[in-house]
Amino acid sequence: MTDILGAFLHTDIKDPEHMVLEGTLAEHIIKLEQTIYRKYIWHGKKGKPMLYVQLKKALYCTLQVALLFWILLSKSFGDWGFTINPYDQCVANFDNSKLT
């Protein structure tokens, strides 16, 4: 078992993915560049500042990105000579007999 550091950073998003930033996080984004973000801020029912954003790169824990990374990883395993196990797709088998 291993952990692939920065795994989701290697995955590009194919379809637009949106998220909402709330409260303090939205306020900090506004402070970065007020002329750009101030006009997009709105306040929720309790007065909490909110900002919708569109992601350009993968963000950890989004379902779309998890699937895209698995597709990328599976392809990479195939390129390296592994075969995805048909009974358990979380397992990749390597045939040692193919080594020279």
Residue 3 has a pLDDT of: 67
Question: How does residue 33 score in pLDDT terms, banded at 50, 70 and 90?
Answer: confident
Model pTM greater than 0.85?
Answer: no
pLDDT at residue 58 is higher than 90 = no
Q: Report residue 2's pLDDT band, with 50, 70 and 90 as the boundaries.
A: low
Instruction: Locate the domains of the chain by residue range.
Output: 16-56, 59-100
Nearest one of 84, 83, 57, 79 to 68, comparing CA atoms: 57
**Residue closest to 65 by CA, chosen among 8, 2, 4:** 8
Residue 17, both tokens: 């993915």
Q: Quick one: the chain helix, strand, coil %, rounded to 5?
A: 40, 30, 30
Residue 98 has pLDDT above 70, yes or no: no
